[in-house]
Amino acid sequence: MRKTASIAATLTLLGALTACGGGEAEADGPITLRMTTWSANPAHVELFNSIAAGYKQTHPDVTVSFEALPLENYTTTVTTQIAGGKAPDMAWILEGAAPDFVTSGALTPLDDTIENTADLATTATALWKQDGKLMAYPFSTSPFGVFVNTDLLKKAGQTLPTGAEWTWDNAVAVASATAAKTGKQGLVVRDFDYKEWTNLATVFRGWSAEAWTADGKTCGFDQQPMVDAMTFLHQATFTKKALPAPGVSADFFAGESAMTIAQISRASLLKEGGFGWALVPLPAGPAGDYSVIGQGGLGVLKKGKHAAAAQDFVKFFTSPANSEKLAQFFPPPRRSQLNAATLAKANPLLKPAQLQDVVIDGIENGVVKPSHTGSAEINQAVRSALDPLWKPGADVATVLKGVCTSISPLLAK
């Protein structure tokens, strides 16, 4: 008798389990949408959760969870999830991986989803379109600027060059002197760490150098502008000691360096009552003023379980009202919001002049960091071919020729 009861109980349990499994696929039951992001920053997460809570008021059946994945392996983790049949419903996409995602057909078009697409800046959407269709929404179009620790500069008796004096030569001189006098590091290209070379675009663009031509077919590393830019960078690192050497860690936001090149969304890492700081545009290079932007797209995956529901949430997430809130960290692609007044409301940390110089002008004239189809393999090839450069006395031109030898077959693919 006891045996029969336990079998019955087991069967009921199994039935309940399968019912749960089946119910999840139905559209009208309670569902959970999952969005993968690369930001575990508490301030960002709080904002996302508050937007999701707002959505739940009108859609009580829909819960949205945000899964923050480490940036280093972000794209790898997302593709592994897709391969394993556990695709997220929505995913942030890094600009480097944009061509792969946009051209592969993994995403659903969003033209009919996003409100007032005419308002989106064309420079912001260029990377995210396939055959005229918007495959992902560039929720963040974030220019790189230079954060400066003014306390450290003062301690070293240095002043921050302004106006026409704000050039790469002067920036390196100040960074070098501050590093020498304070024992801290000078200028950190954030997240580069001698691996993520695409972040060096924030430097070599000042020489008008490019990793490859706009059509993606011809390698640019062996061209004169790149040789000049990398020679400058090499000297700044190994002769003038203005940049941390390979294998040296330094976090600007922990007060360990005089300057850092980073996106403005990093402003949220500055602590109140911490050191004095300034935010200025990238220094002018020999080729004049320039600006580099990093982008993040938001896409709906076809293989997610609830693509339609996910599209509806993306519509809400990217609406003009929420876009204004997101502007606090992620400069929006909406032209109507790209003005100092709107951005100042969302960015109490930044002064209107900083917003105008770094953000608005930056987006208008900015060039997106290098991207290409098959970017993971190309980036890996560039990284390992560039490694011989990162030691004193390296032959810059020869190393850069080697980069082209190793990536040209990949660019041609």
Partner 1 sequence: MTAVMERAAPEAARSARSFWTLRRRDQLTAYVFITPALLGAAAFVFLPLVLVVWYSLHEWNVLADTFDFVGADNYQRLLDDPNMPSVLRATAFFSVGLVVFNLALALLLAVLLNQKLRGTTFFRVLFFSPVVVSLLAWTIVWGFLLRDNGILSFGPNWLRSGSTALVSVVVVQVFKNVGLNMVLFLAALQGVPQELYEAARTDGAGPWTIFRRITLPLISPTILLTSIITVVGSLQVFAQISVLTQGGPGTSTTVLVYYLYQQAFQFHAFGYGATLSVLLFLIVLALTVLQWQMRKRWVFHEH
Least Cβ distance, residue 390 to partner 1 (angstroms): 7
Residue among 123, 390, 397, 405 that touches partner 1 (CB under 8 A) = 390
Q: How many residues bind partner 1 (CB under 8 A)?
A: 32
Give the residue with the Cβ less far from partner 1, 101 or 207: 101
Least Cβ distance, residue 279 to partner 1 (angstroms): 26
Residue among 245, 254, 321, 412 that touches partner 1 (CB under 8 A) = 245
Residue among 240, 303, 315, 401 that touches partner 1 (CB under 8 A) = 303
Cα separation, 263 vs 270, in Å, equals: 13
| Of 146, 147, 151, residue with least CA distance to 276 | 151
Our finding on whether 100 is near partner 1 (CB under 8 A) is: yes
Residue among 6, 12, 18, 76 that touches partner 1 (CB under 8 A) = 76
Q: Which tokens hold the place of 185?
A: 């590091």
Report helix angle 224-238 to 396-412, nearest 10.
Answer: 130
Contact 253, 266 (CB under 8 A): yes
Our finding on whether 133 is near partner 1 (CB under 8 A) is: no
Our finding on whether 380 is near partner 1 (CB under 8 A) is: yes
Our finding on whether 383 is near partner 1 (CB under 8 A) is: yes
Give the residue with the Cβ less far from partner 1, 73 or 224: 73
How far from chain centre, in Å, is Cα 14? 45
Cα separation, 220 vs 403, in Å, equals: 9
Mind giving me the DSSP string for 312-345?
HHHHHHTSHHHHHHHTTTS--SBGGG-SHHHHHH
Our finding on whether 106 is near partner 1 (CB under 8 A) is: yes
Our finding on whether 80 is near partner 1 (CB under 8 A) is: yes
Our finding on whether 289 is near partner 1 (CB under 8 A) is: no
Residue among 71, 374, 405, 408 that touches partner 1 (CB under 8 A) = 374
Our finding on whether 105 is near partner 1 (CB under 8 A) is: yes
Residue among 144, 168, 194, 330 that touches partner 1 (CB under 8 A) = 194
Contact 220, 210 (CB under 8 A): yes
Our finding on whether 398 is near partner 1 (CB under 8 A) is: no
Cα separation, 351 vs 377, in Å, equals: 40
The answer for residues whose C-beta is within 8 angstroms of residue 107's C-beta and 6 or more apart is 101, 135, 136, 299, 300, 301, 302
Our finding on whether 79 is near partner 1 (CB under 8 A) is: yes
Other Cβ atoms closer than 10 A to 252 = 27
Our finding on whether 192 is near partner 1 (CB under 8 A) is: no
Our finding on whether 170 is near partner 1 (CB under 8 A) is: no
Q: Are strands 185-189 and 137-149 parallel, antiparallel or unpaired?
A: unpaired
Q: Is the dihedral of CA 240, 245, 249, 252 positive or negative?
A: positive
Our finding on whether 249 is near partner 1 (CB under 8 A) is: yes
Residues of this chain that bind partner 1 (CB under 8 A): 75-76, 79-80, 82-83, 100-101, 104-106, 194-195, 245-250, 302-303, 374, 376-377, 380, 383-385, 387-388, 390-391
